[in-house]
Structure 1
Amino acid sequence: MMNGDQTRGNGAVPPHEDNYTHNIRKDNERRLDRRSFMKTMVGAAGVFAVSTLPWGAIAAKELSSPAKKAFPKTRITALSDLKVGEAVEFAYPGEHDSALLVRLGEGEFKAYQNACTHLKCPVFWSGEKGELVCPCHHGLFDVRTGAPVAGPPKRPLPEIELKLEQGTVYAVGVKRYET
């Protein structure tokens, strides 16, 4: 026989249940059902999509504008400090952007951002082989064009525009990547 405390209607433990879930309140367990969860997820996705619109507009403007971007003129090295066949690292266009200048001939220089276009590993100059090497996945780049010649990279290295003034090499810009 049951007393008044153990009836099902008042939330007391029924005598025939011996599991440990009798202390869980079940009155709000369906507050977030599947339909409510999906509404919340769709709403969150909508907020995320709307919040990315300004960045997409900025990227579209940057990619579609033919206007040339202004870069700082940065001193790299003096001609007397770099022999033919040697290379020097420098930072361009920002202080954390690594680049590589190679002296190919008496008045011939090439400079590239030295982050591999495959996975951004550093690119090194191999003077004895005359090529730019990415050691991460054995990528090779042509030093005269920056185009990949071996390995997984598919895009050329971004080329840095140079200017020679009074025996000094300066970086003056970065060429846009053309597809």
Structure 2
Amino acid sequence: MPTWLSDPTTGMYLILFVALVIAAGVWVRNRTRRTLLIAAGLFAALALLGLCDYLFESPREESVRKVREMAAAVNERNNQKFLAHVSDSFTYKNWKKPDAVTVIELAQRYNVTAAVFDFNRERYNQVSPTELDIVFDARADSVGNERFPMHFGTRFVKDPDGQWRMKTFAFYDYVSKEDGGEKPLPGMP
């Protein structure tokens, strides 16, 4: 499924909707068969676009879903659920896949929960047919209502089983984003 159908931009919806409103207005004014067919065609195109968007998950949408599921796994302290979304080819500094559970151990040690948000669609980059980058913000909330915002860049890879999984990540300061350079994840060596 082409990405422009499975993951259309808001602009595509807006253009079709505005065209539909204009066509419907012209039809109400003229009441001709031609204008009715144009309005019906635009309605069908808008409905088809919405249906494709709903039924088919693009690589970007799958990666965003996986990041959300990983945050839920951190909050549940569920190592297996977390590692299910980490690729066998995972690397971060000198870590490999089994070391990725350190994220959950840090959450336990500091008694925090994770929240992910603001997935920047403009910064999404399909590097190759099997690799993509997504950028998002995250927050660690402690029991004492302290919040630690972070900015992440992640690379996902399409594993041999056809699933997109996290290959690596980079952590940045929340305010300066990538401009401030990569930082170590708090609590990590």
Name the TM-score class by shorter chain: under 0.3
- TM-score, normalised to structure 2's length? 0.26
Q: TM-score, normalised by structure 1?
A: 0.27
Structure showing the higher helix proportion among its residues: 2
Q: Which of the pair has more CA radius of gyration?
A: 1
